Amino acid sequence: MQELTHYINGEHVKGTSGRFSDVFNPATGEVQAKCPLASKEEMAQAVAVAAAAQPAWEKVNPQRRARVMMKFVDLLNRDMDKLAETLSREHGKTFPDAKGDIQRGLEVVEYCIGAPQLLKGEFTDSAGPGIDMYSMRQALGVTAGITPFNFPAMIPMWMFAPAIACGNAFILKPSERDPSVPLMLAELLEEAGLPKGIIQVVNGDKEAVDAILYDDTIQSVGFVGSTPIAEYIYGTGCAQGKRVQCFGGAKNHMIIMPDADLDQAADALIGAGYGAAGERCMAISVAVPVGKETADKLIEKLIPRVETLKVGPYTAGDDVDYGPVVTAAAKANIERLVQTGVDQGADLVVDGRDFSLQGYEDGFFVGPSLFDNVTTDMDIYKQEIFGPVLSTVRAETYEEALSYAMDHEYGNGTAIYTRDGDTARDFANRINIGMIGINVPIPVPLAYHTFGGWKKSAFGDLNQHGPDAFKFYTRTKTITSRWPSGIREGGEFNFKAMD
């Protein structure tokens, strides 16, 4: 049994709390490693190291910091297969999907190579007589991030790449379910030239998170995970005077208009609903066909596609559409929710429960389920299932379909399938959701735009990556400067316009 470590001050350090959690291979159900769960003292040790290392890193000029990111990109590409294999083994997602997880993180690292440009301040010459005014963006100091299990490469990179490019030190508390890739990323960053102590990985659970939230040195906290924990971290972190951004759960609707290309919409729903076993915050979990004819045809097209999905271990290569879910508890929860759907009156047209794979009977596999005639009062509609389950809610009109997406408490992503530009434009303008796809099922913005939901899917003012990340990880300082020039104005007691 492998005992994983923390990564503190450039070294792999064994946990000293005596507490561990199991890391599974979800395809076999076996425990493959033990993850140390840090105590408050272990977190304090990492914070002290970060605080000592950060001032020198902030003084490294931004172009040199960018070069570390450049080299890091090379190393990510060099080790892509090794990283993806480790990721699949702990998370369960397919090998190509694991590479996508790394790739979408890598793209944010590439964006951060632009740090010298992104960190440039503003300057006004002659804002007043002999007066210049300028602003600069300065690093926060020691920053921290808490990440979920479902993107163990991408989301840590979305946080630490901009934080570090801005001159901060960063402490990562990754998910205890799949901590190996984050540890590998920290090693690679140092191989790329990052000084020790600027990136550290402290594994743990609530105790480590609370140690972050109540630490006076840590200036900012980024969180991605489920909404109840996002709310807790946002409230507690803000009350401690920190800068906090938290991204939570989702229930993403796709509206299918009668004029849509229904084969295209059905294919999109299959990928967006069942890819990564539905364990994506941008997964489509609700299909809303408009009109009875659209709904009937869509269900007819979906059933054979769902029934022929290939579920298996990542080791089966390209022959697999999606893998197991992350834990036995996640599997049990998904199957329990499917049962509530049946009990509450939805039509389970494809039942993915009782799925078993020869040779992998102990793996956490869940077959794909498809519901029709779901209503908004049902648990499968209200809750995030985070599994391979697609619910169909039928709407009579576009307005009714729109109201379902708008009235749901989550507002991460949504999509519309239509050939009508007017409808698409109306949808994009009126919807109260952060990321919109028009004939695009998973509208995850690219690195140079920003990522973030609305409503209960995000807490805080700034989004992830893109220009917002450079704002989140820096403070603005504005300087008004005049050098002795012989001008004598005498005392000035009122605000006045600059001459």
Beta bridge partners of 143: 170, 220
Considering the complex, state which of residue 112 and residue 144 has its C-beta at the smaller distance from ligand NAD. 144
Q: Cα dist. 362→29, 62, 84, 331, 358 in Å?
A: 5, 50, 23, 12, 10
**Residue 206 or 310: which CB sits closer to ligand NAD?**
206
Place of tokens 């944010």: 108
Instruction: CB nearer to ligand NAD: give 62 or 466.
Output: 466
Q: Per CB under 6 A, does 285 bind ligand NAD?
A: no
- Candidate ranges 50-58, 92-100, 223-231, 436-444; the one touching ligand NAD (CB under 6 A): 223-231
Catalytic residue among 112, 166, 246, 281: 281
Least CB distance to ligand NAD at residue 378 (A): 19
Question: Mask of contacts with ligand NAD, 444-483, x by CB under 6 A?
Answer: ---------x---x--------------------------
Q: Taking the complex as a whole, how short is the minimal distance between the CB of residue 141 and ligand NAD, in angstroms?
A: 22
The pair of structure tokens assigned to 174 is 């990754």
Q: How far is the CB of 281 from ligand NAD (least distance, A)?
A: 3
Our answer to whether residue 238 is catalytic in this structure is: no
Least Å from the CB of residue 242 to ligand NAD: 15
CA distance 31 to 133: 60
| Residues composing the chain | 499
Cβ–Cβ under 8 Å, residues 165 and 154: no
Of 278, 300, 275, nearest to 289 by C-alpha is: 300
Whether 97 and 275 have beta carbons less than 8 Å apart is answered as yes
H or E element in which residue 66 lies: helix 62-78
Nearest CB to ligand NAD, comparing residues 145 and 167: 145
Sheet holding 413-417, edge to edge: 347-350, 369-372, 389-392, 284-289, 252-256, 413-417, 435-438
Contact 184, 172 (CB under 8 A): no
Site for ligand NAD in 332-391 (CB under 6 A): 384, 386
Q: First vs last Cα of the chain: how many Å apart?
A: 73
Pairing of strands 284-289, 252-256: parallel
Strands 389-392 and 284-289: parallel
Among all chains, which residue has been given the structure tokens 């704002």? 471
Distance, in Å, from the CA atom of 437 to the CA atom of 413, rounded to the nearest integer, reads 8
Among 209, 257, 325, 401, binds ligand NAD (CB under 6 A): 209
Nearest C-alpha neighbor of 247 from the set 12, 461, 30, 477: 461
The helix or strand, by DSSP H or E, that contains position 480, with its residue range, turns out to be strand 474-482
Min dist CB 326 to ligand NAD, Å, is: 8
| 133-172 positions binding ligand NAD, by CB under 6 A | 146-151
Range in contact with ligand NAD (rule: CB under 6 A) among 86-94, 127-135, 202-210, 284-292? 202-210
Name the minimum Å distance from CB 249 to ligand NAD.
3
Footprint of ligand NAD on residues 53-72 (CB under 6 A)? none
89 versus 305: smaller Cβ distance to ligand NAD: 89
Q: Using the rule CB under 6 A, give the single segment among 71-79, 243-251, 339-347, 471-479 that binds ligand NAD.
A: 243-251
- What are the tokens at 293? 């004819």
CB of 457 to ligand NAD, least distance (A): 5
Q: Within 94-133, which residues bind ligand NAD (CB under 6 A)?
A: none
Q: Which is nearer to ligand NAD, 66 or 106 (CB)?
A: 106
Find, among 314, 268, 38, the residue nearest to 174 by Cα: 38
Of 37 and 113, CB closest to ligand NAD: 37
Strand 243-247 to 458-459 pairing: antiparallel
Interface pick for ligand NAD out of 72, 247, 274, 314 (rule CB under 6 A): 247
Segment near ligand NAD (CB under 6 A), from 34-42, 58-66, 218-226, 266-274? 218-226
Cβ 322 to ligand NAD, closest distance in Å? Answer: 16
Spatial distance between the Cα atoms of 370 and 388, rounded to a whole number of angstroms: 9
* Secondary structure (3-state) at 286: strand
Among 22, 205, 362, 379, binds ligand NAD (CB under 6 A): 205
Which range, of 11-19, 64-72, 241-249, 264-272, touches ligand NAD by CB under 6 A? Answer: 241-249
CB of 240 to ligand NAD, least distance (A): 14
How many residues in the shown chain lie near ligand NAD by CB under 6 A?
Answer: 26
Q: Rank residues 451 and 470 by Cβ distance to ligand NAD and give the closer one.
A: 451
Q: Which is nearer to ligand NAD, 209 or 395 (CB)?
A: 209
> Among all residues, whose Cβ is closest to ligand NAD?
225
Chain centroid to CA 256: 26
The Cα 204–Cα 84 span in angstroms is 23
Smallest distance, Å, CB 298 to ligand NAD? Answer: 25
Single residue of 25, 86, 94, 175 touching ligand NAD by CB under 6 A: 175
Task: State which H helix or E strand residue 41 sits in.
Answer: helix 40-59
Residue 451: its H or E element: none
Which residues contact ligand NAD (rule: CB under 6 A)?
A: 146-151, 173, 175-176, 205-206, 209, 224-226, 229, 247-250, 281, 384, 386, 412, 453, 457
Active site residues: 281
